Amino acid sequence: MKLVHKVTALALAVASHAIAENVPIRAKNGMVVSQNDIASQVGVDVLKDGGNAIDAAVATAFALAVTHPSAGNIGGGGFLVFRPAEGEPIAFDFREMAPAKATDTMWLESGEYSYERHHLSHLSVGVPGTVAGLHMAWTEHGSLPWERLVEPAVRLATEGFEVTDGLSRSLDRTMERIGKHAATKAQFTKNGEPYAAGDILKQPDLAATLVRIAEKGVAGFYEGKTAELIEKEMMANGGLITREDLKAYRPKMRAPIRGTYRGYEILSMPPPSSGGIVLVEMLNILERYDIAGDGFGSARNMHRMAEAMRRAYSDRAQYLGDPDFNPDMPIDRLTSKAYADELSKTIRADKASKSSPESFNWPAESPETTHFSVVDSARNGVSVTYTLEYGYGSGIVVPGAGFLLNNEMGDFNGGPGLTNESGLIGTTPNLAAPHKRMLSSMTPTIVAKDGKLLMVTGSPGGRTIINTVLQTILNVVDHGMNAQAAVDAGRIHHQWLPDQIRYEHNGFSPDTLNILTWLGHDLREIGRQGVAQVIVVNHEDDMLEGGLDRRVSGGSVATY
């Protein structure tokens, strides 16, 4: 039998296996899905108090900065996509910015690239954006008083909260890296002893910073005492961020990336995230195929997905960076149906393509970020992904200010021309420069149908984020899964280079994986991919259905 026939027969055989669906959590009035149950509840309490989805998102973000310190933050940055029930969708960009003294060679030591400088030193810290971004979203669309939204975080930092088993283990794992910073050790250990599950973690310095933010808004972080403490820490340790850099930080409102997929409207994050463009490019390619008919987990679909991912991630590396520094990015072309036509002609049904190894490669990236999704009773939808980059970021707690600084500068390319087989890229669009934003993969996304909100989705996971979000959408739109099943289903990842499909342990039939190998794909099993937080509006009875990702512990779907 020719390979193609063998493949077809087997693909049909395995495609019909059905997935048992877990039941989603349902609610009428409002829902917050986040990676921390306390923070989800803080958000829903805001909805119950008459706040809207933006209010709830702001309160959830501040609460996560206290109760989920690996990724929740005020010392990092991120993106918020908002689809109001009435009016125009908008994206808020609060990505960190390079300080004024940044250069594209700042991570070289005697001409040699230094991973330590790039990812772990004070030179890895970007000017934080979270507080300014949340404040801007609240100024534009919030309805409750700002203090009301910061207050739960103040209380959690002051009175403390119960350390979960997950947090205790996460802190224990990370302390070896970050415990060398005295303020970090003081904040996240009991005089050097690890916090155990059930202990109460209080963060008084963080509480004081949050009070300044509650009282003074943006100035409570970017000016005055907080700014002074950040500058002092930087000056004492070879960092570059000054009070001027902090004062000059500006979040931005941007037009979301828009696409369509089988008549569904896709809204996602534009540059400096690559997420929206890569997502729409992949969806445009996949729209050409009978994804629903061939079934979840079929070799045909996994092959098509991997080929779409390969092509879109190659474009990501080649073209994308901060739009304020790369005015000529071909965004319209990359997200057009005509371009997807061109690309799909290069995809063979019976054979994997090859990613060119002569081209540049990817740097390592950690999977620590956090996403949360919010929908309110008016069906305003908010999708937020924000991050410190690595888990606990740079690991540097600002002494006296009680919050962790990001290491987001590591998302810039390491230096000009630094392209090599060991995983560095040195292409121009994403080299560091003063006041530039580093390229991201975060993909907070909203799907609508017939003018109505359908789905809010997003995930952490570094470069895997875009593919995780893609698969939650295919699972709902093509495979008819509910929100929980869409989150539970196995995931794959291909990012052009390395030329490899990574698949989740126990997520797919071994027969399917064999077919993919016959097609020429290199396969690698991984433990888990991403932590998606999904809300779907069930239009049959206008109920919200939440999918919580139990790949990690600690999250919840809070409802009202």
Residues forming contacts to ligand DON in the complex (CB under 6 A) are: 366-369, 387, 389, 408, 411, 440-442, 460-462, 465
If the CB atoms of residues 441 and 472 are measured against ligand DON, the closer one turns out to be 441
If the CB atoms of residues 300 and 437 are measured against ligand DON, the closer one turns out to be 437
Helix (H, G, I), strand (E, B) or coil at 103: coil
If the CB atoms of residues 61 and 150 are measured against ligand DON, the closer one turns out to be 61
Distances 336 to 333, 341, 516 between C-alpha atoms, Å: 5, 9, 29
Q: Is the peptide bond before 327 cis (omega within 30 degrees of 0)?
A: no
Distances 555 to 164, 242, 508 between C-alpha atoms, Å: 11, 36, 25
What's the min distance (Å) between Cβ of 132 and ligand DON? 17
Residue 263's CB is within 10 A of a number of other CB atoms, namely 9
CA angle 19, 20, 24 (to 5 degrees): 115
* Residues forming the active site: 369
Helix (H, G, I), strand (E, B) or coil at 384: strand
CA–CA separation, 336 and 331 (whole Å): 9
Give residues with Cβ within 8 angstroms of 387, minimum separation 6.
Answer: 71, 73, 76, 77, 78, 368, 369, 370, 406, 408, 442, 460
If the CB atoms of residues 462 and 507 are measured against ligand DON, the closer one turns out to be 462
Alpha helices in 406-496 (DSSP H): 464-477, 483-488
Q: Which two tokens stand for residue 81?
A: 């996509």
If the CB atoms of residues 75 and 399 are measured against ligand DON, the closer one turns out to be 75
Closest CA to 474 of 450, 492, 498: 492
What's the min distance (Å) between Cβ of 387 and ligand DON? 5
- Give the DSSP letter string of 497-547: SS--EEEETTSS-HHHHHHHHHTT--EEEES-----EEEEEETTTTEEEEE
Intra-chain end-to-end CA distance of the chain, in Å: 58
Pairing of strands 543-548, 533-538: antiparallel
If the CB atoms of residues 369 and 559 are measured against ligand DON, the closer one turns out to be 369
If the CB atoms of residues 43 and 272 are measured against ligand DON, the closer one turns out to be 272
Closest CA to 356 of 314, 321, 309, 306: 314
Closest CA to 208 of 67, 66, 54, 70: 66
